[in-house]
Amino acid sequence: MTTTAAAPAPNFIRQIIAEDLKANKNDGRVVTRFPPEPNGYLHIGHAKSICLNFTLAAENRGVCHLRFDDTNPTKEEVEYVESIKADVRWLGFDWGDKLFFASDYFAQLYRYAVQLIKNGKAYVCSLTPEEIRQYRGTLTEPGRDSPYRNRPVAENLDLFARMRAGEFPDGAHVLRAGIDMASPNLNMRDPVLYRILKASHHRTGDNWCIYPMYDYAHPLSDAIEGITHSICTLEFEDHRPLYDWILDQLPVPSHPQQIEFARLNLSYTVMSKRKLLKLVNEGLVSGWDDPRMPTIAGMRRRGYTPAAIRNFCERIGVGRRDNTVDLALLEYCVREDLNKHAPRVMAVLRPLKVVIENYPEELVEELDAVNNPEDPNMGTRRVPFSRVLYIEREDFLEDPPKKFYRLAPGREVRLRYAYFIKCVGVVKDEATGEVVELRCTYDPETRGGYAPDGRQVKATLHWVSAAQAGPAEVRLYDRLFTKPNPDEDKDADFLSFVNPNSLETLTSCRLEPGLAGAGPAGLYQFERQGYFCVDTKDSAPSAPVFNRTVTLKDPWAKLMQAAPK
Ligand code: ATP
Ligand code: MG
């Protein structure tokens, strides 16, 4: 794996592992895992967990397992399994032959459950789900014992076997751990271990009609695989006593250590798969891989690079306090990486026609343009120049205010890599008064962009030659939400904060020739505009579509600074 990631910074998990290794705990092995539930596409929060788990393993000559936590057949699909694998690989990580599914352990988990029953540690409870909730109590009130808590072992074994055999409808019984209904920790109040669910599973088909709960399947899957450090997010801290309890009751091959860290929250973003699915289902985005989505698939399509995302994950660090990271930091990391690798090209997004009156009709010159001033090895290319060009509409104002240094009547500017031109006339649409064409002259002495007499111009514009330029659609993206925290208002649906202007589609863009499909992964810097990439889904060879990956500078940062405190 090639990586440009920042040097690993110390964090509390790295420290725990270092100490464990020093003490030769787990015989010096480090085995981590990334355990996604295949009920949606991975998002940038998952990327943090993936980077953390795979990097910790790699740093310590350990391994990281990819394990699908597929215990909930009604929400899980093969499409998600495949997308998750593709995303982890794309991020640059390799699980080798360590691909596992919790469903592979269903038979073993069942045997463990039987053992719990035999040891008097689990019982079949026949309360309804609603009654179970009522009996559980609250944070301030202890729970009450289920009337089924003292069922004889033989009866529990019989009922559990019949649950498994499909004799009962969904919800008729559950298997619960017998722990402590008075525990201050709600997770310890006889949690449900198994439920009846007559649903087909994407891997085990109809073999099972009872399915283990996450809190039961997870520690056992970790133990079966010999995970040493089971790293999860802070909301599982209260589940740790249950994690340990389950492993303490059973003759498992190992007892992994659960360690919690603060999840990643990102401004102007929601990160729960349930909510992302809602955006997809409500048609507010075009799919899980819509370039505005915080999913890995969306970011990939938008032109974010694995190196940028890994770098971001290293930079935000790993702590134990919840916080929200500014989306601008992620964009910064993307810019930083693209700046090194993306070739510069010229593209005019909102074209305004320019005719150079004193330039010969038939002449086409090939001018040298630099591919990346940051990296001379990327060389130069030739761009055609001719009498009819396009420049950016916003680079001309008929009546320029102070500090507008670009083109205006009577004013001279530089065309990048080409010549100085001067605006000598304006053609307008008679009906609307809109400027539709500029008449200019050029100074042949300024070829390459410098005047031999030393005269200066205040602006350098990008341009394309009309006859040779190719057409393109360009999609400009803004933040998906209008609020830094779309979840913060408990009385409002997060969907009401979707930014109605998060996508702007420009259909009459003009690109310098030879662009579509060229460049590494179709990534470019459009000079003065930002970074753009070929949309792999909607592009056709004759009709390329480009996504704006990120602007050159963060316009929001400026707005924020300008805003009254
Ligand atoms: P979501 O809430 O988005 O549905 P999840 O936790 O249910 O996420 P899982 O598939 O269970 O999704 O997550 C797999 C792993 O990724 C877990 O170990 C989880 O702790 C971790 N993870 C999920 N979201 C984040 C996040 N925002 N930051 C860091 N790690 C995360
Ligand atoms: Mg989860």
Q: Which amino acid is at 402?
A: K
Do β-strands 347-348 and 351-356 pair in parallel, antiparallel, or remain unpaired?
unpaired
Q: What local confidence, expressed as pLDDT, does residue 47 receive?
A: 98
Q: Is 416 a catalytic residue?
A: no
Alpha-carbon span 508 to 560, nearest angstrom:
32
Alpha-carbon span 87 to 58, nearest angstrom:
18
How many whole angstroms from 273 Cα to the centroid of ligand 2?
9
Nearest ligand, CA 213: 2
Angle at which helix 106-118 crosses helix 214-224, to 10 degrees, equals 110
Do β-strands 122-125 and 99-101 pair in parallel, antiparallel, or remain unpaired?
unpaired
The neighbouring-strand residues paired with 348 are 510
pTM as predicted = 0.93
Residue 270 in contact with ligand 1 by CB distance below 6 A: no
Residue 239 in contact with ligand 1 by CB distance below 6 A: no
The neighbouring-strand residues paired with 382 are 368
Name the 3-class secondary structure at 407. Answer: strand
Tell which residue, 512, 487, 10, has the closest CA to residue 274: 487
- Please answer whether residues 150 and 120 qualify as being in contact, where contact means their C-beta atoms are separated by less than 8 angstroms: no
How many whole angstroms from 174 Cα to the centroid of ligand 1?
26
Q: What local confidence, expressed as pLDDT, does residue 374 receive?
A: 87
Residue 35 in contact with ligand 1 by CB distance below 6 A: yes
How many whole angstroms from 271 Cα to the centroid of ligand 1?
9
What separation in angstroms does the CA of 458 have from each of 209, 369, 373, 406? 74, 20, 21, 7
Residue 218 in contact with ligand 1 by CB distance below 6 A: no
The DSSP output letter for 151 is -
Q: What local confidence, expressed as pLDDT, does residue 4 receive?
A: 47
Q: Which amino acid is at 87?
A: D
Which one of 33, 164, 273, 414 is the catalytic residue? 273
- Please answer whether residues 269 and 327 qualify as being in contact, where contact means their C-beta atoms are separated by less than 8 angstroms: yes
Residue 272 in contact with ligand 1 by CB distance below 6 A: yes
How many whole angstroms from 46 Cα to the centroid of ligand 1?
5
CB atoms within 10 A of CB 36: 23
Alpha-carbon span 285 to 271, nearest angstrom:
15
Q: What local confidence, expressed as pLDDT, does residue 3 receive?
A: 44
- Please answer whether residues 405 and 399 qualify as being in contact, where contact means their C-beta atoms are separated by less than 8 angstroms: no
Tell which residue, 117, 82, 93, 105, has the closest CA to residue 32: 93
Q: Is 37 a catalytic residue?
A: yes
Which one of 14, 37, 353, 365 is the catalytic residue? 37
> DSSP string covering 205-266, please?
BTS-SEEE-HHHHHHHHHHHTT-SEEEEEGGGGGGHHHHHHHHHHS--S--PEEEEEPPEEE
Which one of 14, 136, 149, 263 is the catalytic residue? 263
Residue 45 in contact with ligand 1 by CB distance below 6 A: yes
Q: Which residues touch 39 (CB under 8 Å, ≥6 apart)?
A: 72, 75, 76, 77, 80, 273
Tell which residue, 191, 219, 198, has the closest CA to residue 125: 191
Burial class (CB in 10 A: 0-12, 13-18, 19+), 548: buried
Q: What is the pLDDT along the chain (565 residues), one digit of tens a residue?
A: 344 455 677 899 999 999 999 999 999 999 999 999 999 999 999 999 999 999 999 999 999 999 999 999 998 889 999 999 999 999 999 999 999 999 999 999 999 999 999 999 999 999 999 999 999 999 999 999 999 999 999 999 999 999 999 999 999 999 999 999 999 999 999 999 999 999 999 999 999 999 999 999 999 999 999 999 999 999 999 999 999 999 999 999 999 999 999 999 999 999 999 999 999 999 999 999 999 999 999 999 999 999 999 999 999 999 999 889 999 999 999 999 999 889 999 999 999 999 999 999 999 999 999 999 889 999 999 999 999 999 999 999 999 999 999 999 999 999 999 999 999 999 999 999 999 999 999 999 999 999 999 999 999 999 999 999 999 999 999 999 999 999 988 889 999 999 999 999 999 999 999 775 555 568 999 999 999 999 989 998 888 999 999 999 866 556 556 655 4
Angle of CA points 44, 47, 51, to nearest 5°: 150
Residue 256 in contact with ligand 1 by CB distance below 6 A: no
Q: Is 76 a catalytic residue?
A: no
Q: Whose CA is nearest to atom 22 of ligand 1?
A: 46
Residue 46 in contact with ligand 1 by CB distance below 6 A: yes
Residue 294 in contact with ligand 1 by CB distance below 6 A: no
How many whole angstroms from 214 Cα to the centroid of ligand 2?
8
Q: Give φ, ψ of 427 to 5 degrees.
A: -105, 130
- Please answer whether residues 175 and 194 qualify as being in contact, where contact means their C-beta atoms are separated by less than 8 angstroms: yes
State which of 233, 309, 318 you would mutate to test the pocket of ligand 1, scoring each by most atoms of that ligand within 8 A of its C-beta: 233
Alpha-carbon span 9 to 52, nearest angstrom:
12
The neighbouring-strand residues paired with 345 are 526
Q: What local confidence, expressed as pLDDT, does residue 540 receive?
A: 87
Tell which residue, 303, 297, 298, 330, has the closest CA to residue 524: 303
